Each structure stands twice: as C-alpha cells, then as structure tokens.
C-alpha cells in the first residue's frame, strides 16, 4: 500500500527527484504531446529535480550530440535516445527503438545516478522504455499517463499495449473524464484514474494576458490540428468545400485557415490530398505549413471568428484552450468527446453529420450572438489554469505514491 506522507514529513524530506519518460519532448516536437511534456517538466521542476528520458530524431542533436544533457537551470536533466523515424506516436512509430535504446548502458547509468523518487510515463510508448531503463518494475513508483489513448481509435492494434500500461503502473493520471472512464472500463484499471487537465502553456499565457482587452477584426475560420488521420482534418476540408460552393468565402469577410505541416505533407498521401483539396476550393485561404510559435498562434487566434476542432475524440485538444485564450471559441464534437470541454465552454455539434448539415450548423453558429458569449466565458477560464497549478496537481499525485519517504 502506498501512503502519502504527512505535510510535515513532506517539508522535511530531501528534494524529490521525478523522472518523466516520453517519446516526444523538445527535439523537433510535432504534436501537443511534446508541448505538454515541456510544460510538465517546467512545472515539476518547481517541486523536484527532473530527469526527462525521451527520444529525438537522429541527427537533431545540434549543440549536444551526447545522450545525456544537464540543463542550465540545474533542475532538469534530459537523456536522449536517437531514433530513425519521427512524427508518429502510435504503434507504427519508433516506440520499439526507443525502448531498446533505453536499455543502453549510458541511459541506465544516467537513470541509476539520478535516483528517481517517482516516475511518470507518457503513453504506451513509455512503458517498455521505463522498464528497460530501470524506472518501472522496481522500487520506483510508476505513474502512467496516457496523453492519448490509441485503442479508442485502434482497439485491436493498441489495446494490449495500453492494458500493459495500466497493469505495470502504481496509478494512472488521465487528461479528461472520458479517458478516465475508458481506462477503468476498457483497460482494466482497478482504481479510476485521477483527472488533471493540461494547462495553457506559460509562453502562450503571457502573450494572451498582455493582449487582454485588445480588439481586432476577426476574419478567420481556422483548423489547427495535426494533419493526420486520427485528428480527422478531412472534416474541415469537406466543410470548406461546401461553404465555398455556397459562396461564403467570396466576399473575403470570412477566410479559412488550414494547418498542413510540411513534413507530413511530404510523407502522407492523406495530408497531400487534403492540402490540394483545400487550396482548390479556397484559393484565398491560408495554408500554414510550419509548427506555429506562441506569437504566431496569438496572431492567428486574435483574428479568428471560430476554431473548428474536427476529431470525434481527443484526450484534450490544447489548441481549443489556446484559441480561447485569444477570444476565439471552438466547435467540437458533442457528448464530451473532447477533453478540453471539461475545462471550458465549447460549442458542441455532430461533426459526423452529413457535410451539408455540418455546414448549415457552422453558418448558424457564425451568425448567433450567443457565440460571442461562449467566447468570453471560455476566454476567462482558459487564463485561470496555468502550468504552476498543473504541476502542483501532478506532483501531489506522484508524491502520494512515493514509498517509505
């Protein structure tokens, strides 16, 4: 049994040491996983020394080719495993190579020298990596946190991998209530996971607070998700095709914006097709082909009327909170399918409806005065939950599992 130490014991303990195992972190981050892991490491460093064990695409070492790097702030150490493929977090990604690399002498020595008090592993890809490095299966309590539950969309391919995450863990931390239910009901968790919502990242929060009260002409209908099958951006392109047929973009008072990451467009026929279809139907629209910086996100969302988040399920959907921080409300699939809806107000619709019905609904939302009320409510809530609050909640959960403090 894991017992949380008393508050007095907590303050008299040596500074705890927390290991975070995540395939994607800071080297060429391509998804919300990397962004959230960076925020997690920053926020945990306020409470503990942190070791991040992660992968990076081979050749991206730049200034540090060695596998273990000590950061300048002294609180965070990063241990890297080079992998040959990138831009995928599912079972077709480099999780097996990541796990093999974590069994290397350099990594195991770094982990042993660090002396973790607790470990948090992100997604199924962290489980074997943490086990091989000595951070799971021994005396170190292992908390599993599925930032994305892949068996929700590919049950046969990922179910066993994610059940293993539950089985090997001392506790599970979920990003939304829907995922906590799934982990309990479908992955076999004996105890319902704790739900801790991701925060608005610090850099975006600072920009949003500095711009609070600014007014700009809003003209964009945006879709800012990774252009891959699990994010279902084809729904947005189909919507734009229908709106274009209706002449909605002709006056240029409303202009669509579509994110189509260049690296994915080079390797994915799905992404290439969507980019071509979008450009054909909306030649006056914008295609963004790079990973947006916080400043660029602020510029875009400050001029966005409505943000479309197309997947039928998403563990959280950080761009929903980021758009809200700049006053842009989001349309999401209904019935609690997107985790950010637990944290702030969104506009729920049936994204699986026939395209004409979906387009009818979007036109109605654009004209509805209540949409701005949703935007204002979401804006206030988005600015309340920050990295410090997130890190404190995660650390408390980790701390409660530390054995023999």
Q: At what angle do helices 32-44 and 318-325 cross, to 10 degrees?
A: 70
- Where does the pLDDT of residue 49 fall: very low under 50, low under 70, confident under 90, or very high at 90 and above? very high
Q: Encoding tokens for residue 262?
A: 């260049």
pLDDT tens sequence across 14-37: 889 999 999 999 998 888 899 999
Pairing of β 330-333 and β 17-22: unpaired
Counting beta carbons within 10 angstroms of the beta carbon of residue 342, is it exposed (0 to 12), middle (13 to 18) or buried (19 or more)? middle
Domains of the chain, each with CATH number or no CATH: 7-199+386-399 (3.40.50.2000), 202-382 (3.40.50.2000)
Q: What is the pTM of this model?
A: 0.83
- Which uninterrupted H or E stretch holds 130? helix 125-133
Helix and strand element counts for the chain (H, E): 17, 14
Angle at 193 between CA 2 and CA 157, to 5 degrees: 120
- Partners of 143 in the β-ladder: 120, 171
Q: Is residue 73's pLDDT more than 70?
A: no
Q: Is residue 8's pLDDT more than 60?
A: no
Which pLDDT score is estimated for 64?
A: 55
d(C-alpha 174, C-alpha 195), whole Å: 5
Stretch among 13-22, 189-198, 367-376 having the lowest mean pLDDT: 13-22
Which pLDDT score is estimated for 300?
A: 97
pLDDT tens sequence across 290-348: 889 999 999 999 999 999 999 998 989 999 999 999 999 999 998 677 999 999 999 99
- Which uninterrupted H or E stretch holds 288? strand 286-288
């Amino acid at each position: 049994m894991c017992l949380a130490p008393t508050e007095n014991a907590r303050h008299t303990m040596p500074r705890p040491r927390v290991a975070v195992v995540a395939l994607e972190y800071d080297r060429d981050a391509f998804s919300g996983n990397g962004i959230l892991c960076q925020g997690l490491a920053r926020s945990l460093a306020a409470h503990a020394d942190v070791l991040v064990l992660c992968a990076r695409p081979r050749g991206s070492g730049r200034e540090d080719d060695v596998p273990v790097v000590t950061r300048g702030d002294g609180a965070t150490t990063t241990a890297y495993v080079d992998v040959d493929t990138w831009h995928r977090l599912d079972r077709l990604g480099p999780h097996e190579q990541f796990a093999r690399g974590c069994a290397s002498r350099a990594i195991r020595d770094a982990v042993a020298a660090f002396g973790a008090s607790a470990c948090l592993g992100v997604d199924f890809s962290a489980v074997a990596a943490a086990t091989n490095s000595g951070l799971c299966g021994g005396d170190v309590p292992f908390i599993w946190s599925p930032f994305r539950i892949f068996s929700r969309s590919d049950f046969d391919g990922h179910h066993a991998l994610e059940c293993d995450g539950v089985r090997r863990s001392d506790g599970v931390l979920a990003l939304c209530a829907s995922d906590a239910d799934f982990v309990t009901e479908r992955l076999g968790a004996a105890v319902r996971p704790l739900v801790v919502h991701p925060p608005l990242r610090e850099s975006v929060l600072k920009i949003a607070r500095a711009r609070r009260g600014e007014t700009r002409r809003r003209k964009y209908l945006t879709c800012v998700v990774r252009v891959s099958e699990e994010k279902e951006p084809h729904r947005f392109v189909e919507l734009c095709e229908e709106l274009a047929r209706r002449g909605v973009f002709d006056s240029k008072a409303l202009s669509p914006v579509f994110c189509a990451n260049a690296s994915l467009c080079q390797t994915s026929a799905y992404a290439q097709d969507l980019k071509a279809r979008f450009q054909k139907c909306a030649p006056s629209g914008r295609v963004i082909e790079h990973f947006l910086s916080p400043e660029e996100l602020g510029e875009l969302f400050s001029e966005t009327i409505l943000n479309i988040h197309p997947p039928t399920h998403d563990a959280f959907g950080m761009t929903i909170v980021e758009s809200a921080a700049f006053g842009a409300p989001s349309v999401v699939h209904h019935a609690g399918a997107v985790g950010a809806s637990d944290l702030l107000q969104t506009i729920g619709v049936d994204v699986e409806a026939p395209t004409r019905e979906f387009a009818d609904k979007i036109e109605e939302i654009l004209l509805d005065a209540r949409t701005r009320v949703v935007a204002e409510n979401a804006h206030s809530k988005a600015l309340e939950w920050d990295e410090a609050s997130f890190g404190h909640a995660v650390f408390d959960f980790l701390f409660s599992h530390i054995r023999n403090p």
